[in-house]
Amino acid sequence: STERMSGLYVDNGFDQTVVHRVVNQREKREVEHEILNLLGLPDRPRNTHGRPPQVKRSAPKFLLDIYQNALGEDEEEKSPAHHRKAGEFDLSGQDLKAIDQSDVIMTFAAHNHHVPGVRHERGKRLWFDVSEVPPEEHIIGAELRLYHNTDVRNWRNRGSYTITAYRVLKTENGTRELQYIDAINATTGKEGWLTLNVSEALEHWVNNPDGNRGLYLSVHPADRSVHEVRPEDVGIVGFRGDADKQPFMVGYFKSSGKRESKVRQKR
């Protein structure tokens, strides 16, 4: 009687699960579609059918870490921020506050978005596909996460350095205009995740999709004894590094409430 046929079971009140009614294949599809609609997932995402989830990559791993360590089922069950585990992603108090306030948290994998004719110098260009951000979601904040390991290739690059994130404005005729977004100081001796506040850039890209030319990361030694160096030279993990340490962006969003009423009307 516990044969799993439809994915829908009813407890008979005596802690036993019995088949309430066996649904046929068509009804099963209808029920599945109804649940998907309710969750706002009417269609299976592209290129995911039959593939095992790539949860070992840094971005899904980050959200899984939040799911397992930093979420309460509801407001009453939520444990105080200082009691929750920071996990391996070094979640700060500010991160936990953003998590608490968010209805939706999205991660965006970094792409090496090469544009022909653009001189990159020694910095790194990162591009993020933010086209799936629902327009009705209000952006609370966004951060760029970079993994820094202690494997520094050149001894001359050891010590303190500054990472600066710029938004790329123009890439015409090989020239580049950059707008300062955020900067962080770090030292080569410390391993872990570095975060930069890129809320302004995400806000701009969501409101101006055609203006999304990505970020430019520039790294300078703190004493300015050397000109701009490559991020990999001070231990920043790039696209060729381990999958669970690759750069990604995380966005925190709050629902405006308009969507829910729209869905209800539609249904």
Partner 1 sequence: DARRKKKSESTNWDHRNNPYTDSAMQYHSRTCKIQTLYVSFRDLQWQDWIIAPDGYDAYYCSGECNFPLNAHMNATNHAIVQTLVHLVSPGKVPKPCCAPTKLSAISVLYFLDESNVILKKYKNMVVKSCGCH
Residue numbers at the binding site for partner 1 (CB under 8 A): 1, 4, 6-14, 16-18, 32, 35, 39-41, 44-55, 57, 59-60, 63-64, 66-68, 71, 73-74, 102-109, 111, 129, 132
Supply the minimum distance, in Å, between the C-beta of residue 201 and partner 1: 16
Supply the minimum distance, in Å, between the C-beta of residue 164 and partner 1: 25
- CB closer to partner 1 out of 53 and 117: 53
Q: Are 71 and 80 in contact (CB under 8 A)?
A: no
Which residues have CB under 8 Å from 80's CB, separation 6+? none
- CB closer to partner 1 out of 39 and 210: 39
Give residue for tokens 């996460």.
145
Between CA 87 and CA 91, with CA 89 as vertex, the angle to 5 degrees is: 80
Supply the minimum distance, in Å, between the C-beta of residue 32 and partner 1: 6
Supply the minimum distance, in Å, between the C-beta of residue 8 and partner 1: 7
Which residues on neighbouring strands pair with residue 185, listed in sequence order? 162
Distance CA 128, CA 212 (A): 8
Supply the minimum distance, in Å, between the C-beta of residue 153 and partner 1: 28
- CB closer to partner 1 out of 18 and 226: 18
13: left (phi over 0), alpha (psi -120 to 50) or beta: left
Supply the minimum distance, in Å, between the C-beta of residue 38 and partner 1: 8
Supply the minimum distance, in Å, between the C-beta of residue 28 and partner 1: 9
- CB closer to partner 1 out of 111 and 120: 111
Short-list 78, 165, 100, CA closest to 127:
165
Short-list 118, 128, 110, CA closest to 231:
110
- CB closer to partner 1 out of 9 and 180: 9
Which residues have CB under 8 Å from 20's CB, separation 6+? 8, 9, 10
- CB closer to partner 1 out of 55 and 226: 55
DSSP letter string over 122-190? Answer: TSEEEB---TTS-TTEEEEEEEEEEEE-S--S-GGG-SEEEEEEEEEEE-GGG--EEEEEEEEEEETT-
- CB closer to partner 1 out of 169 and 243: 243
